[in-house]
């Protein structure tokens, strides 16, 4: 049985956005507040016929894009060009796609923590740390 047009659009929006509020907006639903739109999205997401359609769409979803490689490219570009927020967002996405490490998997030895701090510094870049130093009123000794 085919879904109503807005239900179909909502299911497609769920596959694209993975967010019920955004899917409701994508499907053309409107509300007086973002809270009301979120409620609409929540209600629709829980309808059995929509859940079935989302599952069907996800099972048939095909892509020829290597998502991890594309996100890694975006991260490298952002890092090289000093786009700190974009670099952090790309790392968050990579973390979700790959599955982030739990605290038990992180090397908590002094050397492991030092290495993690160094990696964070490299991501954020020299200008970021110069600005932080200025805000903290650190002075460089010559």
pLDDT digits (tens, 9 = 90+) for 58-107: 888 766 667 788 888 888 888 888 888 888 888 888 887 776 555 456 67
What are φ and ψ of residue 26, in 5° steps?
-60, -35
Query: For residues 100 and 93, what is the distance between their CA atoms, to the nearest angstrom?
Result: 10
Considering the entire predicted model, what is its pTM?
Answer: 0.45
Render pLDDT for 113-125 as a digit per residue (tens, 0 to 9).
Answer: 888 888 887 887 7
Q: Would you give the distance in Å from CA 1 to the centre of its chain?
A: 34
For residues 54 and 41, is the Cβ–Cβ distance under 8 A?
no
Q: From residue 61, how far is each of 5, 28, 44, 54, 55 by CA, in Å?
A: 20, 23, 21, 10, 10
Can you give the pLDDT at residue 3? 81
Contacts of 63 (CB under 8 A, 6+ apart): none
């Amino acid at each position: 049985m085919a879904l109503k047009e807005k239900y179909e659009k909502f299911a497609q929006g769920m596959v694209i956005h993975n967010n019920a509020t955004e899917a409701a907006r994508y499907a053309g639903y409107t509300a007086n507040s973002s809270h009301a739109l979120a409620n609409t999205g929540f209600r629709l997401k829980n309808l059995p016929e929509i859940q079935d359609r989302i599952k069907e769409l996800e099972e048939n979803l095909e892509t020829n894009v290597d998502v991890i490689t594309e996100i890694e490219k975006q991260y490298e570009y952002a890092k090289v060009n000093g786009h700190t927020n974009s670099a952090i967002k790309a790392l968050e996405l990579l973390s979700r796609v790959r599955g982030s490490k739990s605290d038990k998997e992180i090397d908590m030895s002094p050397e492991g923590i030092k290495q993690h701090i160094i990696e964070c510094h490299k991501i954020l870049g020299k200008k970021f740390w110069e600005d932080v130093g200025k805000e903290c009123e650190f002075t460089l000794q010559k």
